[in-house]
A and B are shown apart, each in its own frame.
Chain A
Amino acid sequence: MIPLLTDGVPRRGLKLLAAFSVALLAAPLVASDYLLTVLILVLYFAYVGQAWNIMMGFAGQLSLGHALYVGLGAYAAAALYVHFGVGPWLGLWVAMASAAAAGATIGFLAFRFGVGGVYFAILTIAFAEFARIGFDHWSWLGGSAGLFLPVANYGGNDILTLRGSPTMFYYVMLAMTASAFVLCHVLLRSRIGYYWLAIRESADAAQALGIDIFRCKMVAVVVSAAMTSLGGVLFAFYYNNLFPEQVFHISRSIELILGPIIGGIGTLVGPIVGAFLLTTLAETLSEIMRAVGIDLPGIKQVFYGFCLLGVVMFLPDGVWPPLGRWLGLGREEGDRGSGEGKR
């Protein structure tokens, strides 16, 4: 198991990873409440970005509707808890199943009938929009008035029902992000991982080498959707309220993919780096604005826009590939999308 995880990773990379992990584990000891909420947000975006990256970065299928899976996961787990008292650790299986089923439906429609590229992206947006409008009118789930999870003052942290302090959520989110990172690392070195990369690079050539591209793309969508939905489950139990207009909104889908795009599509570390950069910088900006007394709604979105512009213009492979080289990590396994010959 251990060699599977460490083979081919530069020693320097392992050391840096270990240092980074220790820092993250120790963060709640020193961080203020505010900083902790920012870190939770960072980890959340790193996690869902990693999940999205499986579809786009590995298998080359652009989804612009990942809010659908976040929302399905959030609503499935929240509804089970609110209506039937079923805890999140059982609810998450229903959440994953719903999101996987939705992903499989979209994938089947697209891949079976040869819908690809931009048209596939539009299809993913369409399904997220269906969900937004549908959930807006689904009164059992609160409709547009929202679904609220009961909040009580608990003495301690109850991990079984995910009721507790931000510190507890921080560690749960950290565990999820770390697991996603390890899972993606293992996937990339497995048969399906190589098949995904091949399909991303040239579907025709991949098929000529015996790869069932329909099946592989379906696996990518289903795995990505199920993983994303777990982010939704945590989202629901952390924020305790869900509104279709917010959860399923297209801006949520866009927000979710900015991390991996800025960090480096198709890389393992990119989604994490991207989430750290974007979230911390955007929060800092908001704080500065607040401090100087300027109230500009939407400043965060404008900031995201400029970040994207900067990356597209100056770092087309994202921040991580050059950063990784600068750190002396060279071209690591997950860094495939950024070969020297590319662009």
Chain B
Amino acid sequence: MTALLEVDGISKSFSGLRALENVSFRVPEGSIIGLIGPNGAGKTTCFNVIAGVSRADAGEVRLAGARIDGWRPDQVCRAGIGRTFQLVKPFAGLSVMENVLVGALNACSSVRAAKARAGDIIEQLGLAEKRGAVAAALTLPERKRLEVARALATGPRLLMLDEVMAGLRPTETDHMVALFRTLNANLGLTILLIEHVMRAVMALSSGLIVLNHGQVIAAGPPAEVTGDPAVLECYLGEEAL
């Protein structure tokens, strides 16, 4: 499988604090890769560097072979990467429909087409009943789904999900997992997800990358990685044995 996303030796410091150190990994086209690790390991920083929110001090990011490091977030989005925020950022005063529509405009040439696309995606995410409600009135799980819907509406080749299952009930988690599986299978959507809910990570991922203290300490198939003593020690804990 060819790599859709290649992260090559990125480092990032915040005034002396080394958040990422020489991080490299590949996300093959059509795969679902989980990015896991303890809090403060640098997962979100890594997302922000890929999405163009922060600029890496060193290293390269390539999407389908083309360098995208140093690009602005909107350019990265137009290049084909959709992302969600860990701390959800809905357009609070706009309706669910309008929220998703804004994302869909990235993929559509007219407002009319974007409205149709947004409607479909709202349906897929199970938000149809809420399409007229303002985002500020949604519950947290609904906001998480809205966050996914908006990112998905931009028509990405790679979808980056930052803890979208956190705070969801198990049935809701299963619903999300099923949705991502479908998107992956039907549209060939590549997904990179940061997730603490191991139940979801294990159900979805074809590969795992483990970050700790800003470094990749393990990468490979889920079964292999979760059995790695270093991973168990720093993240999953002894009981996972």
Q: Which residues of A contact B (CB under 8 A)?
A: 189-191, 194-195, 197-198, 200-202, 204-213, 266, 336-342
Contact = CB atoms under 8 A, between A and B. Distances in A.
A307 to B, nearest CB: 24
Contact of A339 (B92, B106, B111): B92
Interface string B190-229: 0000000000000000000000000000000000000000
Contact of A198 (B72, B73, B83, B91): B91
A204 to B, nearest CB: 6
A194 B92 contact: no
B111 to A, nearest CB: 6
Given A190-B111, A210-B105, A210-B154, 7 more contacts: A191-B105, A209-B103, A209-B106, A210-B77, A336-B94, A336-B95, A341-B92
The secondary-structure label for the interface of chain A is: helix
Contacts, number: 102
Interface string B87-106: 00111111100100111011
A218 B74 CA distance: 16
A208 B91 contact: no
A205 B89 contact: yes
A336 B130 CA distance: 16
A198 B102 contact: yes
Nearest to B136: A341
Name, among A205, A211, A213, A339, the residue most crowded by chain B CB atoms within 10 Å (CB to CB).
A205
A195 B92 contact: no
A189 B105 CA distance: 12
A304 B136 CA distance: 32
B51 interface: yes
12 contacts: A191-B111, A204-B53, A204-B73, A204-B89, A206-B91, A206-B102, A207-B73, A208-B74, A209-B151, A210-B78, A210-B103, A341-B135
Contact of A207 (B72, B136, B137): B72
A184 to B, nearest CB: 16
Contact of A197 (B78, B83, B98, B154): B98
Contact of B111 (A194, A201, A210, A213): A194
Given A204-B89, A336-B94, A336-B98, A194 B134 contact: no
A149 B27 CA distance: 70
**Which 10 A-B pairs give the minimum distances between C-beta atoms?**
A341-B136, A339-B134, A201-B91, A210-B77, A210-B106, A341-B137, A205-B89, A207-B73, A198-B102, A202-B89
A211 B101 CA distance: 12
Interface string B58-88: 0000000000000011100110000101000
Nearest to A213: B74
A208 B73 CA distance: 5
A341 B132 CA distance: 12
A135 B145 CA distance: 55
B150 interface: yes
B219 to A, nearest CB: 26
B85 A341 contact: no
Contacts of B103: 209-210
Interface string B131-171: 00011110000000000001101100000000000000000
B102 A342 contact: no
A201 B74 contact: no
Given A207-B72, A209-B77, A210-B77, A197 B91 contact: yes
Nearest to B92: A201
A190 to B, nearest CB: 7
Contacts of A208: 51, 53, 73-74, 77, 83, 85, 89, 151
A339 B91 CA distance: 11
B89 A340 contact: no
Nearest to A206: B102
B98 A342 contact: no
Given A204-B85, A207-B74, A208-B51, A342 B134 contact: yes
Given A189-B111, A194-B111, A201-B91, A339 B102 contact: no
A339 B154 contact: no
Given A213-B74, A341-B134, A202 B91 contact: yes
Nearest to B108: A191
Nearest to A337: B93
A315 B153 CA distance: 35
A208 B83 CA distance: 7
Contacts of B72: 207, 212
A209 B154 contact: yes
Given A202-B91, A204-B89, A339 B105 contact: no
Instruction: Give the one of A190, A211, A212, A337 with max B CB within 10 A.
Output: A211
A197 B72 CA distance: 20
A204 B95 CA distance: 18
Contacts of A341: 92, 134-137
A125 B222 CA distance: 59
A211 to B, nearest CB: 6
Specify which of A195, A198, A210, A213 lies most central, judged by the most chain B CB atoms within 10 Å of its CB: A210
B105 A201 contact: no
